[in-house]
Structure 1
Amino acid sequence: MSIYDEKVWLAQYPDPTKTSLDIEFDSALEMFAATVDRDPEADLIRYYDGRISARELDELSDAFAAGILEHGFQAGERVVIFAQNIPQFVIAQVGTWKAGGIAVSANPMYRSRELTEILQDSGATVLVSMQDLYQNVAREVVPNTQVRTVVTTSELEYQSLNRGPLANVEVIDCPDTIDMANLLAENRGQRPPAAELGPDSIAFLTYTSGTTGPPKGAMTTHRNVVFNAQTYREWVELDSDDVILGVAPLFHITGLIAHIAATLLTGAPLALMCRMEPQETIRTIEEQGATFTAGSITVFIALMNVPDVKPESLKTLTKIYSGGAPIPPSTIIAFEKMFDHYIHNIYGLTETTSPSHGVPYGVRAPVDEVTGATSVGVPVYDTVVRIVDEQGHDLPAGEIGELVTEGPQVVAGYWNKPEATAKDLPEGTRYRRMHTGDVGYMDKDGWFYIIDRKKDQINAAGYKIWPREVEDVLYEHEAVLEAAVIGVPDAYRGETVKAFVSVRSGATVTEAELIEHCKERMAAYKYPRSVEILPELPKTATGKLLRRQLRDTAKDSA
């Protein structure tokens, strides 16, 4: 039986009779307009004690579009949004579409070199920046780019509590920039000319993390956005009665789709907190009655480690999804034991506009007995995923190879990079195919499992070791908070296994104890020969562990 002709995974779908989605809107802007028409006075954004209704977001985004058009912006140009999870991010994104433009989200952790790279590569003419990010980073960068207009804003806007991450924020004067509050006030009530957007129009450039080289701007189309917003709605059973907790950074594809796009489609209010702080997140869940979120597993580990956290604090948060990094089964078990909620796996990349696979809401993912991997789910609607060998040939169920994804969520290509597009995103049968670089397999029942990134495999004297397998064993130790494993040079074996861990508050453990813990549970060639305990492991803004930085650390200490 060919697993690609007969989709055995259909039996795992939320509704096995519904395996395809009709894309309901030609653009994300049309999707948002339908939500405004449906219930204009309903909350669409909640920011501490602040509220923005669907009608208000419509008016504010109109004002933003009218304002930047007045300052010379033209359809097809790019607007870079350099901000944390604040309402202005959503206003600027929707407003950019209304002006006929392409939104570009920049990681607020970027420093000068990285921001310069994004601004220059995208050719952006407008920059929207939080005041402190402009003062500390963007101010020196802008003169070396094509940016003509800079709009600055404060995270203190749209709320009055000034708590959590806002407690020590001060308003900063930013000369030679346009204050966003003034821009919106001056243009409130104006409607820009109707933007000509269609399914193939680019909605935003989403830059890859750059963990394997310079960031590339994935050209995410309006079709991509609408399709995966609908996927979240159907897969997770979202509607306007839900409340979406914005724990993923909005600049990241998870935040853009699982938070912003899902809100614009369903009308479920999006609860924002500027940035994720565990204690503030717990409080926001309770106050807002949050029901759904999607974030990295490090978010949920952090929530479990909030001092004196009460299980009832998360009673409303029943729809929990995690992606971006493998989820150790032990963490899922521990979280469920503490809060009585199951963490559903979801999997995708920047280039697949968030999900290409997911565990249906209310279904428990199987755990492979041999590898210990938790399944990332099954391919979502209209999506075909192949497991291929080094020559690109399809592999049967159970065999390990690279995942290649084809579906309506796969992006149109990389901005100004035709060679990279041809290599990683070649034309498929109906859509482009994304060569993910992730290694995994599909079992006989259609469940998919990710083993690791191809580049992270460790070769110790000819034995192949996947870091995730060693990390899962480390997570089983009660003292371990986080774990990351890399290969380091070894004169005898070529490479050997090194582990980095951080320890739970109040726990104590030695490197030797952790090595022995793994040695008792793994084949001799797999267990780490060295362990380094760090106060905290380096991560991206989305919570993904930075193995590249750990490799540099290991090289410096060698």
Structure 2
Amino acid sequence: MLPLGQHLRPPHHTVPQMCASALAADPDAVVIHAFDRTWTYAEVDAEAHRLARALAGAGVAAGDRVALFVQNDPIFVTGLLAAWKLGAIGVPINPMNTGRELAFQLEDSAAVALIALPGLWTQVAQQVVADGIGDVRLVILAPHTAWRQDGEQFETSSVPVPPELLGRVGSAEVVSADTLPDGSDYTPGAVCADDVALLTYTSGTTGRPKGAMNTHGNLTFNAETYVQMSALQPGEPILAIAPLFHITGMVGHVLLGLRVGAPIVLSHRFHPQVMLESIRHSRPVFTIGAITALMALADCPAATAADFASLRTIYSGGAPIAPALADRLEGIFGTYVHNVYGMSETSSPTHLVPRGQRAPVDPVSGALSVGRPVYDTQVRIADEQRADVQAGTYGEILVRGPQVTPGYWNRPDATAESFADGWLRTGDIGFVDADGWYYLVDRKKDMINASGYKVWPREVEDVLYTHPAVAEAAVVGAADAYRGETVIAFVTLHEGRTVNPSELIDFCKADLAAYKYPRSIEILDEMPKTATGKILRRKLRGT
């Protein structure tokens, strides 16, 4: 890892330039492992080219948005590269999203094309598109590929398409074979480092999801950061344990692999036993993922020390690691699990524990350091007036650097609030010690961090308020040994109404992703409130 403060300019400023350079260097290099199949650079590029032709034939052009509603599958990579070939903007969507959540992101981004798995199409997306939500004029369904799910293999079956959507929906095999209307090829989009490459949706102070605008320069900068932190060499596999729609999986798996020529080991979705089989088959050298996923992998009954012997470097982000847990995982994996800190707005890391070093433990709080700033990145700890505080003093973490996005998609108000004077206000409370190590203490906002996923209480409350029996609702996070935090809710009921907590949980399940719905709900006679009528969340938390 580069010494703190040392400058290194990434060799490429856009993702297409980065990929073209790698393709030219070794077109036969394997860049994807997915169970029993492999894809070389040349094969990935050819499929991306075919998909780009299909998108161009539907009128997709530079600056348009292309949504991806898939798992950790090869079409995520080829579909994203196809969008970038046209100069379009990728919109990765969480495959756990419900129809309501998907509809919001399609409408907010004004996506003109959607790439989806057949199962997610029939279960979730088809009704959203049929309802005319958003501007989607082309739907590409993923190839009918065999995946393993929960240790079993299955084939996707043919997908029926409603008559009203005929002509707008097709399988990737069919649409990628089609030519443009005039038989010509598409015109590649001209992009520069400052052009937006991705909209990665996050939550903010209002609870309404916002699309962080990750530019090509942001992404290629942090791809280089991962090159430095991983020390990967061409041909050394990456275990894709993080979801690719998340900024960590996007940069720490996909872009790192494409940048280095390191095979990205894809396993459709996270399942410990399936992931263990992928490790045995592909012998990955590097991985980064949420601590909950690493814990599940470590606790897999069939795992042995020999299974993890190939993993030279492991990083964990999304939630702080307890020192005792870090020691336990090191004993199982045989290598130290390094902390990394970042967010969607910073295109993944701003801080990390340098490879080969161990994070210090704060003697007062017992917290494990999240690391030091990566190269070319400035960090401040500031008080409410945004004035710097002394080492050891708690304050909000502010960052600026080449990986920080220019703001949020079509949200100038939120951009002005979070990106002030060139500094990103992270909303996280932390401190720096006298030796330059940073520690994350608490969140300034009420955001809940469940298994590395961020949950905004207001979104859950909004769903609860749609139940006819609920008069008031308040959602908070509670400590959880496995998930880090879990979502719990408190409600009061309208007079004369009755409902069971289990019914309310099932009600939320129908409209919220699996990591968002409350695991427990308590019905109160009265909410604790301030004199002005504001619900006291700290009372509900018991703090």
TM-score, normalised via structure 2 length = 0.81
Alpha-carbon deviation of 1:391?
1.3
Alpha-carbon deviation of 1:74?
2.0
CA contact (8 A) 1:402 1:436 kept: yes
Asked if 1:444 corresponds to 2:444, the answer is no
Asked if 1:60 corresponds to 2:47, the answer is yes
Select 1:367's aligned residue among 361, 369, 373: 361
Q: Identify the residue that residue 175 of structure 2 maps to in structure 1.
A: 183
Select 1:223's aligned residue among 208, 217, 221: 217
Alpha-carbon deviation of 1:555?
5.7
Q: 3-state DSSP class of the match of 1:21?
A: coil
> 1:157-556 residue pairs with structure 2 within 5 A?
157=145, 162=148, 164=150, 167-175=153-161, 176=166, 177-186=169-178, 192-209=186-203, 213-428=207-422, 433-456=423-446, 499-501=479-481, 549=518, 553-554=521-522
CA distance in 2, matches of 1:358, 1:333: 18
Q: 3-state DSSP class of the match of 2:177?
A: helix
Q: 3-state DSSP class of the match of 1:41?
A: coil
- The residue identity in structure 2 corresponding to 1:106 is I
Superposition RMSD on alpha carbons, in Å? 2.9
CA contact (8 A) 1:63 1:190 kept: no
Alpha-carbon deviation of 1:161?
6.7
CA distance in 2, matches of 1:72, 1:346: 40
Q: Identify the residue that residue 49 of structure 1 maps to in structure 2.
A: 36
Q: 3-state DSSP class of the match of 2:381?
A: strand
Q: Identify the residue that residue 464 of structure 1 maps to in structure 2.
A: none
CA contact (8 A) 2:30 2:235 kept: no
Alpha-carbon deviation of 1:17?
7.7
Change (3 A) 1:389 1:328: same
Q: Identify the residue that residue 104 of structure 1 maps to in structure 2.
A: 91
- The residue identity in structure 2 corresponding to 1:26 is H
CA distance in 1, matches of 2:524, 2:155: 36
CA distance in 2, matches of 1:250, 1:103: 12
Change (3 A) 1:190 1:237: farther
- The residue identity in structure 2 corresponding to 1:440 is G
CA distance in 2, matches of 1:497, 1:275: 26
Q: Identify the residue that residue 86 of structure 1 maps to in structure 2.
A: 73
CA contact (8 A) 2:4 2:374 kept: no
CA contact (8 A) 1:165 1:275 kept: no
Q: Identify the residue that residue 19 of structure 1 maps to in structure 2.
A: 6
Change (3 A) 1:497 1:218: closer
Q: What are the superposed Cα offsets for residues 41-68 of structure 1, whole Å, 9 maximum, x if unpaired?
A: 0101111011110011111111111111
Alpha-carbon deviation of 1:239?
2.3
Select 1:145's aligned residue among 124, 127, 134: 134
CA distance in 2, matches of 1:557, 1:242: 59
- What's the % identity of the aligned pairs? 39
Bigger mean CA offset, 138-147 vs 106-115: 138-147
CA contact (8 A) 1:325 1:544 kept: no
CA distance in 1, matches of 2:524, 2:136: 38
CA distance in 2, matches of 1:446, 1:386: 11
Select 2:16's aligned residue among 4, 24, 29: 29
- The residue identity in structure 1 corresponding to 2:173 is A
- Size of the aligned set, in residue pairs, is 467
CA contact (8 A) 2:96 2:514 kept: no
